Amino acid sequence: MVDLRTAYLGLRLRSPLVASASPLTGKLDDLRRLEAASAAAVVLPSLFQEQLTGQPPELDRAVEPVEYLRLIERAKEALSIPVIASLNGTAAGSWLEHARMVEEAGADAVELNVYVIAAHFGLDGQEVELACVDLVRGARQVLGIPLAVKVGPFYSAMANMALRLAEAGADGLVLFNRFYQPDIDVERLEVAPTLVLSSQEELRLRLRWIGILYRQIPISLAATGGIHSGRDVVKALLAGADVAMLASALLRNGPEHLSRVEAELRAWMAAHGHDSVGQVRGRLSRAGTGDAAAYERANYVSLLSSATHGGR
């Protein structure tokens, strides 16, 4: 019998399958469907810093936060799995006091989604990183429940940044945030927001950094972005992830797709003689293989050499 149980942020989960923040996790009926389809935990959609500060002013300052707290309460009443709230911000400030309200509403943990576009000339990388660390430290000071930090991959020294976030109080890292890019509408001559769902190829960047960080920092690791199948979950676990988070695949195929993903994961583990997630986790990480080159520059050199010689 395959045992899929795992731990994430100190929470005991029945499997590593987590429904990441998306429109599906913002409705109670869909949350029930996700749990029925084997979700081990759910991350609610983000409550944004701008909603809590009224900047820009057209964003609602009161109604949406109140509704968000009510969603947490209703989800906790309806579900038997952990409910993780999501706060999306750029810098520390008084808005973080709302994190305490999220905790009081019953959230089992908070995922702090850090989404910063460093578009100001004169703002150097060190300042950007310090603001992120201060944000995490501020959130940790007001929260008594586990805190995960969802970050992008564009820091100049990702390993050191991960260590600093752990030291600032993060209980886990979610790798990586997908920054949605604007498009240009050539007919209307305007910049247009676009939503492109993830592809499986995006998982590779997550695998690299989870494989590097596994066992190097004492916090949980979650893979998000590019996970669509049970085999993708296997890859994330082999790299060292505690959980695999899905959003795009569920938006494409519906909450019930989770059941298929779990069945594929179980089938792979059984076929390879693994009885538990713990036997799989980190086996192909940098620490697990002892092969640093596979995750670093030598991988790049080897790949180009293989391509140049026709794969021989």
pLDDT at 119: 77
Distance CA 262, CA 299 (A): 31
Q: How far is CA 206 from CA 158, 174, 201, 203, 303, in A?
A: 12, 9, 10, 5, 18
pLDDT at 265: 98
User: Taking the alpha carbons of 146, 135, 162, 300 in that order, is the dihedral positive or negative?
Assistant: positive
User: Taking the alpha carbons of 295, 297, 298, 301 in that order, is the dihedral positive or negative?
Assistant: positive
**Which pTM does this prediction carry?**
0.90
Residue in this structure with the two tokens 């008084």, named with its chain if needed: 94
| Tokens of residue 100, six digits | 């305490």
pLDDT at 63: 45
DSSP 164: H
Q: How far is CA 178 from CA 117, 150, 217, 248, in A?
A: 12, 10, 23, 11
Question: From the CA atom positions of the chain, what is the Rg in Å?
Answer: 20
pLDDT beneath 50, residues of the chain? 58, 61-63
pLDDT at 310: 58
Domains and CATH numbers, the chain: 6-308 (3.20.20.70)
Distance CA 39, CA 15 (A): 8
What is the per-residue burial (b if ≥16 Cβ within 10 Å, else e) of 261-288? bbebbeebbeeeebeebeebbbebbbeb
Does the N-terminal peptide bond of residue 56 adopt cis geometry, omega within 30 degrees of 0? yes
